[in-house]
């Protein structure tokens, strides 16, 4: 009997597959539907880790399954090959990043091939290849032509160590994501992409996508749409207005002052009118010195009043003072806010810090307050019935209370009681304009909007707007004061300029006057020069290239200068999935015909860490290309599934310093690629962001399973059992039922990415077969087919041992006999007073009467009825195929 020699087998079949080219995917196969399976291509770090295996080899199971189902499956890969790590390594080694990168790609190709995946390498995409970045540059030109790209001075995140600009996404907790250095803010002119133009579509189009809920929420949070109102406060004795943005127009009556960001353009204009000009100027310059981070972290809400300047609240014509304070950010909304200390913790903190409080009752809980929400009449009744009111501070914080603001005579007779309660709460008293009353959360209030009367303040429960939602109320007030409803976003435009060498050159040249011109398409690709010392010194390395300057002058004329910045690598990866479709095309980035054949991507599997970066960027890219008429879809990825991380055996993230890194090459050498693939699939469901620890014993368990599959086949063949091809096999009826149930179960599991339970079902099948004397050859072959997407090498070997001429991977996925998967009888439990006391085997469709008779005759059942208090049957429930429940 041959041993299961994984090294020989895996090498043999990988060579065989490459030779026969069975994984090369044509664009069209008559009678087959195309299916585009995508995984995020990798950065060529030069060493494959377990994460790569998890990212590529488990989706490969799905791709193979789809293929056996009769789809024409495209499963491509390539390299996201530009980027800082190679450049930094090259600097260290005194090497050329290009040479280094291509070496590392060679090494990684070999490693990736050891997975036994069905990648179509003929379509490989490499982003640092000029034939690729030619199109990256071409797209940039298109964007520039259509005002989706522009040059602007912005505050940028600057990493002093990497000497480069970082996108917001690349900054975590104020530190460079890559090297951990504290990031500083810097003003810099750079190329921007107008992603904010797409903010609404990037949020709204999520609704129609089959994506994990959490990922959609993350993107929404990141874009940070906030729907509110823009309201204007008129400056007294002036025709100037201060525009504020608020999401709580309904609190407009509670405004006690207005605050401008110190950078706000009106500050300098108003300077002439203020009596404390110097104080204001000092504060402004102090703010300028502070880093944004520092501003965000400082607890104290400092600020200076613009003395002598007053503005008019448009709701009640009240005059309120104007302050400047650095807790108001210039870059968000209008850079000015209306302050409602009664309803907003930040405003409250500011007014406390600056002694602006008027003695109102204020609660430091931003969202617990609802200024204008009243109750329905029923709730008024329930308020009246409140016996005592506790307003201890702690309870307010913990209890999720709703607060109501009343000015209604109906409840004014409650005042004494409330005042009594408030007295214990040292800091509370009756507000100048109303009164707060608390209600428990489960007495869900119906928001009732207000009728505005500048003289009376505002009245609630007038009945006039009864039943309005809070959004409608906000709208009403906004209209009342002549404001408008607007959305603001947290998302900023995408700065793509990088002052580094190893990236896609930005295809721009400057004329002698310094005006930017895009490089005409005929000069693309605009090649990255090689005569560059890329040691970072804070300036772009390309500025030191003679070749680039000479090339520029030769083409455009004396005095012209090249752009010396390169693009963020997220630009490269924003469109790579189109290039797979037509990777050798010289005339277009991809032909319309081929894009029509494959797009959109049917299944995109990747890491959750790309949610607010690559995935968001490439969605923007697709929409932009669609607007420009180059692609047909507004979304590139129909279905998205995220995976978690593989942790070290100790449950921590794998890292060299923790010494818990699993080297896949070693495990593959020891146990085989099939084992590693299957173990990764067996750990838990794929497509959920759950992290699984690598269990060295667990892998061995999977290897044991493959050994048993191997032995099961060999043993029967050696005994001369009719397992040989063409001879049919022994029939074992019970086994047949199990087999068909297994086919059904695995098919369903794989569709749902539950590879773990699919594998467990194969284990159950094997466990059962091992107990039998013989297994039919046909049945065994079906098992091999079910197993083949998971363990492609061993199954192809055993398949060919059985005399099959074509690869198992070209065979059809097994189907099951629907009749065989339905049981005639079922064993169900018998509950007596809710406890399972016995079980009984019944025909699946046994009728109520006969079941009742049978069950009540059972000794175990009688026994429990005897010991019960009532001894008589109050209820007899029989749900066919599920349960019998008796109440006594």
Partner RNA sequence: GCCCGGGUGGCGUAAUUGGUAGCCGCGAUAGACUCAAAAUCUAUUGUCUUUACGGACGUGUGGGUUCAAGUCCCACCCCGGGCACCA
* Paired strand residues for 166: 157
Interior angle at CA 558, CA 552 and CA 559, nearest 5? 85
Find the largest Cα–Cα distance for the chain: 107
Distance of closest approach, residue 506 Cβ to RNA, in angstroms: 26
The residue among 722 and 829 lying less far from RNA, judged by its C-beta, is 829
Indicate which single residue of 188, 196, 714, 885 sits in contact with RNA (rule: CB under 7 A): 885
Closer residue to RNA, CB minimum distance, 637 or 753: 753
Q: How far apart are CA 780 and CA 797, in angstroms?
A: 13
In the complex, what is the shortest distance from the CB of residue 888 to RNA, in angstroms, rounded to a whole number? 10
Asked if 695 touches RNA (CB under 7 A), the answer is: yes
**Which residues, listed in sequence order, are joined to residue 189 by a DSSP beta bridge?**
153
Is residue 645 classed as helix, strand or coil in its secondary structure?
Answer: coil
Site for RNA contains 252 (CB under 7 A): no
Q: Which two tokens stand for residue 446?
A: 């119906």
When binding is defined by CB under 7 A, the residue of 442, 515, 812, 870 that contacts RNA is 442
Query: For RNA, which residue of 51, 85, 308, 693 counts as binding (CB under 7 A)?
Result: 693
Would you state the structure tokens that stand for residue 873, as one six-digit string?
Answer: 């049957």
The correct pick among 107, 837, 852, 854 for binding RNA (CB under 7 A) is 837
Binding mask 452-491 for RNA (x = CB under 7 A): ------------------------------------x-x-
446 binds RNA, rule: CB under 7 A:
no
How far is residue 418's CA from residue 395's CA, in Å, rounded to a whole number?
Answer: 16
Closer CB to RNA, 719 or 839, in the complex: 839
400 binding RNA? (CB under 7 A): yes
Residue with tokens 């090369």: 24
Of 121 and 816, which CB lies nearer to RNA in the complex structure?
816
Instruction: Determine the Cα angle at 778 with ends 757 and 714, to 5°.
Output: 85
Q: Per CB under 7 A, which region of 19-27, 50-58, 267-275, 877-885 contacts RNA? A: 877-885
Q: Does 19 participate in binding RNA (rule CB under 7 A)?
A: no
For RNA, the closer CB: 392 or 592: 392
Q: Which residue of 113, 178, 517, 708 would you call a contact of RNA, by CB under 7 A?
A: 708
Q: How far is the CB of 155 from RNA (least distance, A)?
A: 11
Shortest reach from residue 254's CB to RNA, in Å: 11
Cα 289 to Cα 294: distance, rounded to the nearest angstrom: 10
Closest CA to 396 of 420, 419, 423, 366: 366
- 312 vs 329, beta carbon nearer RNA: 329
Q: Among the candidate windows 270-278, 365-373, 569-577, 632-640, which touches RNA by CB under 7 A? A: 365-373
Chain residues 78-97 in contact with RNA, contact rule CB under 7 A: none
Name which of residues 317 to 336 contact RNA (CB under 7 A): 326-329, 332-333, 335
Q: How far is the CB of 574 from RNA (least distance, A)?
A: 19
Q: Is 834 in the site for RNA (CB under 7 A)?
A: yes
Asked if 573 and 520 count as a contact pair (C-beta separation under 8 A), the reply is: no
Q: Does 608 bind RNA (CB under 7 A)?
A: yes
Interaction between residue 409 and RNA (CB under 7 A): no
> CB 298 → RNA: shortest distance, Å?
5
Residues 164-223 that bind RNA (CB under 7 A): 213-214, 217-218, 221-222
Q: Which of 625, 503, 517 is nearest to 566 (CA)?
A: 503
Judged by beta carbon, residue 179 or residue 883, the one nearer RNA is 883
Pairing of strands 184-193, 494-495: antiparallel
How far is it, in rounded angstroms, from Cα 546 to Cα 567? 20
| DSSP output for 319-388 | EEEEEEETTS-TTSTTSEEEE-TTT-HHHHHHHHHTT---S----S-TTTB-SS----HHHHHHHHT---
The three-state (H, E, C) secondary structure of 33-67, written as one string: CEEEEEECCECCCCCCCHHHHHHHHHHHHHHHHHH
Question: From CA 465, how far away is CA 22, in angstroms rounded?
Answer: 70
Would you count residue 301 as binding RNA (CB under 7 A)? Answer: yes
The structure tokens 């990256």 sit at 136
Stretch that binds RNA, among 39-47, 398-406, 714-722, 726-734 (CB under 7 A): 398-406
Q: Nearer Cβ to RNA, position 163 or 660? A: 660
- CB nearer RNA, residue 224 or residue 463: 224
Interaction of residue 870 with RNA, rule CB under 7 A: no
CB nearer to RNA: pick between 120 and 305: 305
Q: Smallest distance from the beta carbon of 137 to RNA, in angstroms?
A: 29
The only residue of 704, 772, 806, 810 in contact with RNA, by rule CB under 7 A: 704
Which of residues 253 and 705 has its CB atom nearest to RNA in the complex? 705
Asked if 226 is part of the footprint of RNA (rule: CB under 7 A), the reply reads yes
* Cα 193 to Cα 160, 451, 552, 617, 878, distances in angstroms: 24, 45, 24, 10, 65
d(CA 352, CA 225) in angstroms, rounded, equals 30
Residue 666 makes CB contacts below 8 A (sequence gap 6+) with: none
Cβ proximity to RNA, 169 vs 602, nearer residue: 169
- Whether residue 232 contacts residue 480, with contact meaning beta carbons closer than 8 Å, is answered with no
Distance, CA of 197 to chain centre = 21
Residue 825 is a binding residue for RNA (CB under 7 A): no
Residue among 67 and 610 whose Cβ is closer to RNA = 610
User: Which range binds RNA by CB under 7 A, 40-48, 177-185, 360-368, 383-391?
Assistant: 360-368
> 3-state class of 307 per DSSP?
strand
Task: Give the contact letters, 253-292, x = binds to RNA (CB under 7 A), - = no.
Answer: --------x-------------------------------
Asked if omega into 669 is within 30° of 0 (cis), the reply is no
Q: Is 733 in the site for RNA (CB under 7 A)?
A: no
Q: How far is residue 122's CA from residue 103's CA, in Å, rounded to a whole number?
A: 19
Query: For 210-214, which contacts have Cβ atoms below 8 Å and span 24 or more sequence positions?
Result: 210/638, 210/639, 210/640, 211/637, 211/639, 211/640, 212/640, 212/641, 212/642, 212/687, 212/688, 212/689, 214/608, 214/689
Please list the alpha-helical segments (H only) found in 172-297: 199-204, 213-223, 265-270, 277-289, 292-297
Six-digit token string for 718: 């050696």
**Please, which of residues 673-692 interact with RNA by CB under 7 A?**
682-685, 689-690, 692
Show contacts with RNA in window 742-781 (CB under 7 A). 754, 756-757, 759-760, 763-764, 767, 770-771
Find the binder of RNA among 612, 721, 732, 807 (CB under 7 A): 612
User: Binding to RNA (CB under 7 A): which residues in 228-247?
Assistant: 228, 245-247
Residue 55's closest CA among 120, 100, 119, 9? 119
Q: Taking the C-alpha atoms of 139, 143, 145 and 148 in order, what is their torsion angle to the nearest 10 degrees?
A: 180
| Structural contact between residues 648 and 693, judged by C-beta atoms closer than 8 angstroms | yes
Does position 819 interact with RNA (CB under 7 A)? The reply is no
Size of the site for RNA (CB under 7 A): 91
CA distance 562 to 542: 9
Residue 639 or 838 having the CB closest to RNA: 838
183: tokens are: 């990031």
Q: How many CB atoms lie within 10 A of CB 24?
A: 11
Which of 321, 648, 698, 722: binder of RNA (CB under 7 A)? 698
Q: Which is nearer to RNA, 597 or 608 (CB)?
A: 608
User: Whose Cβ is closer to RNA: residue 581's or residue 888's?
Assistant: 888
- Give the residue with the Cβ less far from RNA, 80 or 749: 749
Residues 637-666 interacting with RNA (rule: CB under 7 A): none
Can residue 828 be called a binding residue for RNA (CB under 7 A)? yes
């Amino acid at each position: 009997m041959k041993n299961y020699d994984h090294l020989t087998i895996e090498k043999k079949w990988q060579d065989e597959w490459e030779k026969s080219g069975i994984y090369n995917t044509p664009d069209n196969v008559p009678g087959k539907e195309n299916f585009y399976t995508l995984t995020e291509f990798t950065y060529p770090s030069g060493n494959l880790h377990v994460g790569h295996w998890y990212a590529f080899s488990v989706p490969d199971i799905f791709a193979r399954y789809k293929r056996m189902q009769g789809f024409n499956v495209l499963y491509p890969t390539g390299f996201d090959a530009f980027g800082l790590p190679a450049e930094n390594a090259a600097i260290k080694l005194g090497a050329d990043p290009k040479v280094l990168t291509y070496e590392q790609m060679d090494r990684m190709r070999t490693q990736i091939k050891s997975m036994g995946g069905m990648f179509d390498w003929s379509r490989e995409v490499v982003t640092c290849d000029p034939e690729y970045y030619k199109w990256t540059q071409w797209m940039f030109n298109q964007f520039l032509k259509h005002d989706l790209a522009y040059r602007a001075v912005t505050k940028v995140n600057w990493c002093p160590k990497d000497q480069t600009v970082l996108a917001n996404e690349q900054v975590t907790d104020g530190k460079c994501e890559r090297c951990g250095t504290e990031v500083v803010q810097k003003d810099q002119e750079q190329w921007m992409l107008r992603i904010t133009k797409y903010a609404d579509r990037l949020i709204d189009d999520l609704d129609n996508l089959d994506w994990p809920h959490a990922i959609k929420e993350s993107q929404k949070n990141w874009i940070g749409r906030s729907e509110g109102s823009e309201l204007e406060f008129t400056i007294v004795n002036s025709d100037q207005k201060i525009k504020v943005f608020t999401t709580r127009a309904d609190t407009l009556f509670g405004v006690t002052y207005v605050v401008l960001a110190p950078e706000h353009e009106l500050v300098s204009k108003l300077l002439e009118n203020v009596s404390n000009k110097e104080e204001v100027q000092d504060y402004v310059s102090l703010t300028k010195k502070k880093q944004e981070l520092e501003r965000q972290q400082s607890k104290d809400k400092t600020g200076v009043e613009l003395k002598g300047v007053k503005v008019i609240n448009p709701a009640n014509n009240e005059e309120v003072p104007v302050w400047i304070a650095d807790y108001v950010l210039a870059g968000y909304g209008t850079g000015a806010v209306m302050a409602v200390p009664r309803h907003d913790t930040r405003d409250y903190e500011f007014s406390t810090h600056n002694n602006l409080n008027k003695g109102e009752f204020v609660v430091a809980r931003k969202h617990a307050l609802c200024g204008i929400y009243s109750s329905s009449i029923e709730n008024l009744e329930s308020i009246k019935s409140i016996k005592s009111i506790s307003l201890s501070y702690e309870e307010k914080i913990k209890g999720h209370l709703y607060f109501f603001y009343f000015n209604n005579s109906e409840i004014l007779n409650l005042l004494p009681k409330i005042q009594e309660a408030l007295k214990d709460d040292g800091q509370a008293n009756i507000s100048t304009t109303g009164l707060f009353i608390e209600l428990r959360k489960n007495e869900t209030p119906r928001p009732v909007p207000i009728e505005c009367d500048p003289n009376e303040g505002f009245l609630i429960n007038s009945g006039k707007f009864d039943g309005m939602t809070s959004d409608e109320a906000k709208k009403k007030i906004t209209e009342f004061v002549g404001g408008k409803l607007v959305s603001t976003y947290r998302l900023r435009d995408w700065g793509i300029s990088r002052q580094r060498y190893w990236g896609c050159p930005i295809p721009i040249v400057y004329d002698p006057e310094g005006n930017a011109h895009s490089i005409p398409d005929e000069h693309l690709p605009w090649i990255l020069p090689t005569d560059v010392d890329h040691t970072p010194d804070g300036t772009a390395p390309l500025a030191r290239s003679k070749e680039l300057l000479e090339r520029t002058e030769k083409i455009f004329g004396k005095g012209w200068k090249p752009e010396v910045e390169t693009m963020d690598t997220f630009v490269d990866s924003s469109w790579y999935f189109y290039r797979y479709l037509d990777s050798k095309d010289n005339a277009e980035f991809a032909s319309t015909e081929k894009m029509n054949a494959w797009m959109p991507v049917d299944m995109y599997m990747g890491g959750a860490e790309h949610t607010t970066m690559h995935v968001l960027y490439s969605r923007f890219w697709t929409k932009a290309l669609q607007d420009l008429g180059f692609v047909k879809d507004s979304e590139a990825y129909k279905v998205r599934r995220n995976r978690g991380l593989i942790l070290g055996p100790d449950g921590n993230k794998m890292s060299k310093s923790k010494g818990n890194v699993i080297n896949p090459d070693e495990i593959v050498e020891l146990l085989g690629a099939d084992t590693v693939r299957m173990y990764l699939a067996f750990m838990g469901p794929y497509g959920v962001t759950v992290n699984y620890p690598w269990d060295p014993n667990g892998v061995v368990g999977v290897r044991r399973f493959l050994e048993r599959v191997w032995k099961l086949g060999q043993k029967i063949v050696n005994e001369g059992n009719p397992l040989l091809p063409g001879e049919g096999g022994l029939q074992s009826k019970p086994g047949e039922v199990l087999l068909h149930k297994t086919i059904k179960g695995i098919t369903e599991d794989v569709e749902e990415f539950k590879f773990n339970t699919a594998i467990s079902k194969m284990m159950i099948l094997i466990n059962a077969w091992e107990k039998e004397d013989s297994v039919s050859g046909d049945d065994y072959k079906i098992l091999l087919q079910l197993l083949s997407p998971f363990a492609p090498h061993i199954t192809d070997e055993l398949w060919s041992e059985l005399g099959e001429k074509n690869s198992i991977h070209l065979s059809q996925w097994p189907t099951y006999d629907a009749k065989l998967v339905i049981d005639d009888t079922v064993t169900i439990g018998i509950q007596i007073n809710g406890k399972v006391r016995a079980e009984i085997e019944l025909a699946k469709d046994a009728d109520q009467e006969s079941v009742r008779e049978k069950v009540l005759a059972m000794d175990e059942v009688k026994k429990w009825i005897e010991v019960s208090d009532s001894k008589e049957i109050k209820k007899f429930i029989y749900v066919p195929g599920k349960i019998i429940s008796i109440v006594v």
